[in-house]
A and B are shown apart, each in its own frame.
Chain A
Amino acid sequence: MTRSEQTIAESGAGKIGVLNLQGDVFEHLDHLERIGIEGVPVKRLEDFDSLVGLIIPGGESSCLARLMRIFEIDAMIRRRHREGMKLWGTCAGAILLATNVQGESSHLALIDMEIERNSFGSQLDSFVCEASAPKVSPEPIPLTFIRAPKILSVGPDVEILLHMDDFFAAVESPDVLATVFHPELTPSLAFHRYFARKCGLHPLPEESGAMSAWNRNSWMRMARIA
């Protein structure tokens, strides 16, 4: 971590980026705004300036991996990660962060875990449920799994935040968070708050009063035609 970033993190100021190459970018930006954190879409190398954290959203990991590689965004993420930027991958993002992806070579390889893509089957096997992750929230958290991967095993420095039947759904290392479900598609802000705190920021304890309550169309205010 450079001196200037240390200052940013300690002061509780700083922005969280959402990688804006493909996928559910607006949904994450909407959640960040609800907890009073400045979120920025990140598409170019200069967009990484002064980020204390980066969310790699859901989407298709093969598409994201290809775009990251050809535009040298992968190298930039690795560099900023070395400098102290925290990372969170949801679904496809978790696949990109894993050191070990079943049946293919790994991508960013920044958290020691083995993951299996599209582990439940087709869209007909996508599902919602609820579970507790005590370190993240005292309340049960609604979970949305869409053609989700499974985390099959983790290395010694990785802590399990949410263990489900035969897989891990949320895990973290000191600088990387990985979830195979989509908190950004639910009303719950718990994981976004948790990640903001991991980045040294101070999220609002209550949803920002300036905004109407979350619903599944909330992201659309960022993609209006009229």
Chain B
Amino acid sequence: MDATRYELNVQLAQMLKGGVIMDVTDVEQAKIAEDAGAVAVMALERVPSDIRRDGGVARMSDPQMIAEIKKSVTIPVMAKARIGHFVEAQILQELKIDYIDESEVLTPADEECHIDKTRFSIPFVCGARNLGEAVRRIAEGAAMIRTKGEAGTGNVVEAVRHMRTMNREIRRLAGMPVEEVTGFAKENGIPYELAMKVRELGRLPVVNFAAGGIATPADAALMMQLGCDGVFVGSGIFKSADPVQRARAIVKATAYFNDPARVLEASMDIGAAMPGLEISSIPEERLLAGRGW
């Protein structure tokens, strides 16, 4: 990926700012998402809560199904590849979708290496729990970052933890004299140059979305007020009682995240949210956020 291509990929993410990216599993859902005002769709065979329920190995979705979704909408289409599975990424690039999510929601294909994203022309978004993880992914070529959260739980607590952790670390770095940055970079396992960049910008050098456990308009507005640039909603929409109303409501609440009257309006009369899962009730080997490093 040359510098111009990378810049274009970062800039596509900039166009998505203030918007909602929705998980969809078929053409009908993709159309519902687009009509509700989604800025992109994530095409996948099973939403995270079903992956969690079914267990087993979760892989890249059937390319045929992704291609059908791509044909049915004009908004950008994203799809997931397993962490480290660069051949799944090659296939998705060949399919000419718009963005690849190298995702911990799928079963990792490589426990040591993430994909070398600089070898691709297509943009990547990657999950992170903290600043170190986010910056390592950017160093590998990611053009967009999202919090990992704990996907498929309908519980926003992990996304909040990840965003607060990143923010705390960014504030610490931004307030640091230059001579302390080397130690910070070493401690967090990140390149010195990128640490200096984050320090200068007072934020990640790419767009950062919230993801993992967002289920209500209030969850979306909470993540926006914590400083995210936009949100991903996975199981939260199509596992709720009324996906059409909920999708519209989350779009409204994300755009007007700073306006409690509008978030209230968006929260009215939208049916039941997806059932939630207490994180402590999930056996440790079933937690997704710990995948990747």
**Complex: A99 Cα to B122 Cα, angstroms:** 33
Q: Which of chain B's residues 1-58 have a Cβ closer than 8 Å to chain A?
A: 4, 7-12, 14-19, 34-40
Across the interface, B37 reaches (CB within 8 A) one of A20, A24, A58, A67, namely A67
A226 CB–B CB distance under 8 Å: yes
Over the window 21-60 of chain A, the binary record of Cβ atoms lying under 8 Å from chain B Cβ atoms (1 yes, 0 no) is: 1111111000000000000000110000000000000111
Asked if B203 and A224 sit within 8 Å, CB to CB, the answer is yes
B222 CB–A CB distance under 8 Å: no
Asked if B255 and A60 sit within 8 Å, CB to CB, the answer is no
**Complex: A172 Cα to B8 Cα, angstroms:** 26
**Complex: A121 Cα to B74 Cα, angstroms:** 10
**Complex: A146 Cα to B98 Cα, angstroms:** 11
Asked if A62 and B175 sit within 8 Å, CB to CB, the answer is no
- With a 10 A CB-CB cut-off, give which of B12, B40, B255 has the most chain A CB atoms: B255
A223 CB–B CB distance under 8 Å: yes
Over the window 182-226 of chain A, the binary record of Cβ atoms lying under 8 Å from chain B Cβ atoms (1 yes, 0 no) is: 100100000000000000000000000000000011011101111
Task: Name the distance in Å between A222's Cβ and chain B's nearest Cβ.
Answer: 10
Stretch at the interface among B154-162, B166-174, B213-221, B238-246: B166-174
Q: Could you say which residues of chain B place their CB within 8 Å of the CB of A26?
A: 17
Beta-carbon nearest neighbor of B230 in chain A = A22
**Complex: A219 Cα to B207 Cα, angstroms:** 11
- With a 10 A CB-CB cut-off, give which of A24, A91, A217, A226 has the most chain B CB atoms: A226
Q: Could you say which residues of chain B place their CB within 8 Å of the CB of A131?
A: none
Q: Could you say which residues of chain A place their CB within 8 Å of the CB of B167?
A: 225-226
Over the window 102-140 of chain A, the binary record of Cβ atoms lying under 8 Å from chain B Cβ atoms (1 yes, 0 no) is: 000000000000000110011110111000000000000
Asked if B15 and A67 sit within 8 Å, CB to CB, the answer is no
Q: Using a Cβ–Cβ cut-off of 8 Å, how many residues does chain A contribute to the interface with B?
A: 43
Q: Is the interface of A mostly helix, strand, loop or mixed?
A: loop
Q: A59-B39, A67-B251, A124-B122 are in contact. Are A21 and B170 (CB under 8 A)?
A: no
Asked if B17 and A63 sit within 8 Å, CB to CB, the answer is no
Q: Could you say which residues of chain B place their CB within 8 Å of the CB of A44?
A: 259
A66 CB–B CB distance under 8 Å: yes
Asked if A224 and B202 sit within 8 Å, CB to CB, the answer is yes
Asked if A63 and B202 sit within 8 Å, CB to CB, the answer is no
Asked if A63 and B74 sit within 8 Å, CB to CB, the answer is no
In this complex, the interface size class of chain B, counting residues with CB under 8 Å from chain A, is 35 or more
Q: Could you say which residues of chain B place their CB within 8 Å of the CB of A173?
A: none
Q: Could you say which residues of chain A place their CB within 8 Å of the CB of B201?
A: 217, 220-221, 224
B109 CB–A CB distance under 8 Å: no
**Complex: A58 Cα to B12 Cα, angstroms:** 10
Q: Could you say which residues of chain A place their CB within 8 Å of the CB of B166?
A: 225
Q: Could you say which residues of chain B place their CB within 8 Å of the CB of A223?
A: 203, 227, 229
Q: Could you say which residues of chain A place their CB within 8 Å of the CB of B191?
A: none
Given A66-B248, A127-B8, A226-B171; 18 other pairs, CB 8 A cutoff:
A21-B255, A24-B14, A26-B17, A59-B18, A59-B19, A60-B39, A60-B40, A66-B251, A67-B37, A144-B8, A147-B15, A221-B201, A223-B227, A224-B203, A225-B202, A225-B203, A226-B170, A226-B175
Q: Return 22 A-B CB contacts under 8 Å, by A number.
A: A23-B17, A26-B17, A27-B14, A43-B255, A60-B39, A60-B76, A63-B37, A63-B39, A63-B75, A122-B70, A123-B9, A146-B8, A146-B11, A147-B98, A216-B11, A217-B205, A220-B201, A220-B202, A220-B205, A224-B203, A225-B171, A226-B174
Interface residues of B (CB under 8 A from A): 4, 7-12, 14-19, 34-40, 70, 74-77, 93, 96-99, 121-123, 166-167, 170-171, 173-175, 201-203, 205, 227, 229, 248, 251-252, 255-256, 259
Interface residues of A (CB under 8 A from B): 20-27, 43-44, 58-60, 62-63, 66-67, 70, 91-92, 117-118, 121-124, 126-128, 144, 146-147, 182, 185, 216-217, 219-221, 223-226
